[in-house]
Amino acid sequence: MSAEETDVLIVGAGPVGATAALLCARVGMRAIIVEKRDRRVGPPKAHALNPRSCEIYASLGIDYARLARQSMPRSDGGFVRFVTRLQGLELGALAYERQDDDALDATPTPLINIPQPALEDILLQEIATTPLIALRRPQTWLSALDAGTHVVSQIATPEGEREIKSRYLLACDGADSAVRKACGIDMPGDARIEDRIMIHLAADLRPLLGARPGVLYFVTNPASPATLIAYDLASTYVLMHRYDKAKEDPARFSRERCQEIVQQAIGVDLPFEIRHISPWTMTALVAERYRVGRIFLCGDAAHRFPPSGGLGLNSGVQDAHNLVWKIAAVERGWAHESLLESYQRERQPIAAAYSAQSHGNAQRMGKLFAHVASVFESAGGDVAQAEHRLSSPAQRAALDELVELQRPHFDSFGLQLGFRYGDEDWTRHVSDFAPRIAAGARLPHAWIDMGGRRASTLDLLDPTSFALICASGCASWRSALKASAVPLRIAVAGEDFADTSGKWAALMGEACAVLVRPDGHVLHVAGSAEPGAVDGVLNRLKAPALG
């Protein structure tokens, strides 16, 4: 039997693989996704979809309001809380990221809390109506041969083995990536930060939470230290119980014992049902290589972060966003194949920064847990006595300081929107975000008027082409660049859109135009140069030295 052919073979149908497939289809490339599971199982996993990911989905036609309808209301998920028990002493609280209307100055799509299964359902609905994408499940990727001009993969199907010949192979198959292992790519870093038992439970805890709703509860009682993640206050939670697998066999966490753990964390007798139990180890690892020939790693296959920060799924979406346009540019003849080398160069430092931040978040949280544990120890483990001591003025001052230490964990606007390719210093601004028009940075958002409707400058972009956004005095550039060497969408202030607030003009400063890549990151800022200089930048995409 001859091999089936496609432009891109994607291994894994999770959010990263599904996003990559939709990006491929958007630029006219065929994609086949092979997924070894016939259906999704297990807990709801990730929940935070940050502004940049929402912007990426908006560019694919997945409306923000559609995502928000499947998300936790801001009134429920606006805070993280630090407690001794769920129904115990609150040690402090912090706002969970920037979900309020003030965030609209920086992004048209603020962070939302959407359970990963709900996000996957939306992505799979899109895939089902996209002719250029074929989703195959249950099918297992077995091996691949990179033949130089294509990759031939062996796939196990219920009917037997078959071959798929693809121009490129994207490994989106998760932390235990079979593709990465087959490529012999190591994952250096910290392979064991903490051990956890994941307990997925169904419960309606809203009556218990009362005036203390939140998306995350850090339960500091040393008898049952845990993080409780709320996906829906009336139905769905995951409790992450801390333990040490060097001292305790994870097999000892039976359903009965996990029921006791949950009961201790809640602090009162309320009905709940345990759906899943599984051990896992928190790691901070980044692949040494993101590419072997025509095989590329994306998402958890390329990096594994602690969940402290909500950066894992989002960075995977950004990986796919960075990579797919480059593949299309090479395949369509817009760019030399050396452009593909920039994928690792751009994305690996971002993963390293995210990994370091997530690891640091976990360490800072450990200081708070350790402090509370010392107070419990001094109280002989008596919960009521410990809570009384933690309420003293001296303890409140210490706790306020320790809670404030956690703020970068839950206010990472700089990481979410401020990352800049080619700039090693961008990570200094974890919480602070100052939008600017600069090479490598995400094009800043500003509210504009387009045809009588309120829009964002991000709406001027198109993932199938480059974009040139010109100041009002540069209208002549449109005709000069209409025969560009690559697809180019041109928008002129005062003609194609109105800068009603003046923010866009302030961001542009003395620049005449800004040239933007298909992934929304700035390629070039043009001063008073002639249009030919911009055309020269686009032509240089075909130069071998680019990579």
DSSP 304-361: E--STTS-HHHHHHHHHHHHHHHHHHHHTTSS-GGGGGHHHHHHHHHHHHHHHHHHHH
Q: pLDDT for 412-425, tens place per residue?
A: 999 999 999 998 77
Q: State residue 1's pLDDT score.
A: 60
pTM over 0.85: yes
Nearest CA-CA partner of 82 in 213, 210, 216, 204: 216
DSSP 3: P
Per-residue model confidence (pLDDT) at position 535: 83
3 state SS of 482: coil
Which candidate, 165, 153, 119, places its Cα nearest to that of 22?
119
Structural domain boundaries of the chain? 4-62+112-187+286-354, 447-546
Quick: pLDDT tens for 189-205.
999 999 999 999 999 99
pLDDT tens per residue, range 423-450? 877 777 789 899 999 999 999 999 999 9
Q: Take residue 523 and report the two structure tokens written for it.
A: 């390629």
Cβ atoms 219, 226 nearer than 8 A: yes
- 120-164 residue pLDDT tens: 999 999 999 999 999 999 999 999 999 999 999 999 999 999 999
Task: Over range 387-398, report the average pLDDT.
Answer: 97
Distance CA 360, CA 404 (A): 14
Look at residue 40 in the predicted model and tell me its pLDDT: 80
CA angle 18/165/177 to nearest 5° reads: 50
Q: What are the tens digits of pLDDT across the range 260-286?
A: 999 999 888 889 999 999 999 999 999
**Confidence at 547, pLDDT banded by 50, 70, 90:** very low
Candidates 370, 409, 410; CA nearest to 220 is 370
At 483 the pLDDT is 72
Through-space distance between the first and last CA atoms of the chain, rounded to whole angstroms: 38
Angle between helices 383-390 and 342-378 (to 10 degrees): 110
Q: Any bridge partners for residue 219, and if so which?
A: 83, 226
pLDDT band at 545 (very low <50, low <70, confident <90, very high): low
Q: What is the pLDDT of residues 297-331, one digit of tens each?
A: 999 999 999 998 889 999 999 999 999 999 999 99
Cβ atoms within 10 Å of 302's Cβ, excluding its own: 30
Task: Report the percentage of the chain scoring pLDDT > 70.
Answer: 99
The CATH number of 4-62+112-187+286-354 is 3.50.50.60
The fold of 447-546 is Glutaredoxin (3.40.30)
